[in-house]
């Protein structure tokens, strides 16, 4: 079992709709959770971080964390064509807490259809 | 703005050649990382460093070495390049977690170096 799992996609969502991206992780000791966005041919950039159970909102983005289910998700409201990218889920576990030795999922490719 | 600069965007090397990939960051970050990214495998950590002259193995260190002689510079070395090292290599840097709540600092990535080994 992979440590961090994501559906590879592609996930196609109409413009203006909600895009929902999901990630599961295997290490129950995981403490910190991140979503990175990577445009084609570019390097990843951080868009959300979440550390506690529940929702965290930042503009059109909402990260959701459920540690009991070992599940983290990213919702993108009012999807725009500029949101078309690969979204990487990254997790830091208890053993590594205090450093940034992140474990990344393989990413979900999102396409927003105009 | 944080800037992480990788010396070469595209390289083509032959099997057995020694390859140097250079990375420089300008934000005085203590932590630096080398990842490789391959389709279907995602980002995998090769080596990382928390201080000058310090290095630690990541998940896939075989066939690689690193050097950190100065705080701002972290080099990845392929002693004898092989075709299975054809990949996109990404350097990243970050500052240590905040003392207040130990939250992880953001990773800042360079633009990547696409290496092809023939």
Mean pLDDT of A8-31: 92
Handedness of CA B98, A37, B54, B44 (dihedral sign): positive
Greater confidence (A100 vs A114) lies with A114
Q: Which of B19-23, B57-61, B93-97 has the lowest mean pLDDT?
A: B93-97
CA atoms of A100 and A39, how far apart (whole Å): 22
Nearest CB partner across the interface for A43, out of B97, B102, B109: B109
pLDDT of residue A7: 84
Mean pLDDT of B6-29: 94
pLDDT of residue B110: 95
Nearest CB partner across the interface for B103, out of A43, A44, A51: A51
Greater confidence (B68 vs A95) lies with B68
How far B107 CA sits from the closest chain A CA (Å)? 7
Q: Do A100 and B40 touch (CB under 8 A)?
A: no
Q: Do B107 and A100 touch (CB under 8 A)?
A: yes
Say if residue A10 is preceded by a cis peptide, omega within 30 of 0.
Answer: yes
Residue B69 token pair: 């002689």
Mean pLDDT of B21-38: 93
pLDDT of residue A102: 83
pLDDT of residue A82: 96
CA atoms of A22 and A35, how far apart (whole Å): 10
pLDDT of residue A93: 65
How far B45 CA sits from the closest chain A CA (Å)? 8
- Summarize pLDDT for A58-86 with one digit per residue, the tens: 999 999 999 999 999 999 999 999 999 99
Reported as a pLDDT band with limits 50, 70 and 90, residue A95 is low
Nearest CB partner across the interface for B103, out of A32, A90, A105: A32
Test the A interface: residue of B9, B104, B112, B113 with most A CBs within 10 Å: B104
**Helix (H/G/I), strand (E/B), else coil: B84:** helix
| A49 shares contact with chain B (CB less than 8 Å) | yes
pLDDT of residue B43: 92
The residues, any chain, with a CB within 8 Å of residue A57's CB and separated by 6 or more, are none
Chain A positions in Cβ-Cβ contact with residue B35 (cut-off 8 Å): 104
């Amino acid at each position: 079992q992979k440590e961090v799992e994501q559906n590879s996609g592609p996930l196609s969502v109409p413009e203006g709709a909600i895009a929902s991206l999901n990630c599961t992780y295997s290490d129950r000791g995981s403490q910190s959770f991140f979503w990175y966005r990577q445009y084609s041919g570019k390097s990843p950039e951080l868009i959300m971080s979440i550390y506690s159970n529940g929702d965290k909102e930042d503009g059109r983005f909402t990260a959701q964390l459920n540690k009991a289910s070992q599940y983290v998700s990213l919702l993108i409201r009012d999807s725009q064509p500029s949101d078309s990218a690969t979204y990487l889920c990254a997790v830091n576990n208890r053993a590594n807490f205090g450093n940034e030795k992140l474990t990344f999922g393989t990413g979900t490719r999102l396409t927003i259809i105009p | 703005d944080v800037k992480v600069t990788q010396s070469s965007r595209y390289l083509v090397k032959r099997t057995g050649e020694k390859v140097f990939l250079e990375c420089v960051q300008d934000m005085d970050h203590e932590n630096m990382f080398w990842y490789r990214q391959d389709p279907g495998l995602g980002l995998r950590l090769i080596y990382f460093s928390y201080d000058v002259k310090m290095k630690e193995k990541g998940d896939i260190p075989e066939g690689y070495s690193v050097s950190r002689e100065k705080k701002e510079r972290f080099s990845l070395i392929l002693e004898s390049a092989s075709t299975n090292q054809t990949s996109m290599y990404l350097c990243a840097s970050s500052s240590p977690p905040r003392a207040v709540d130990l939250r992880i600092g953001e990773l800042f990535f360079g633009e990547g170096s696409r290496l092809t080994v023939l």
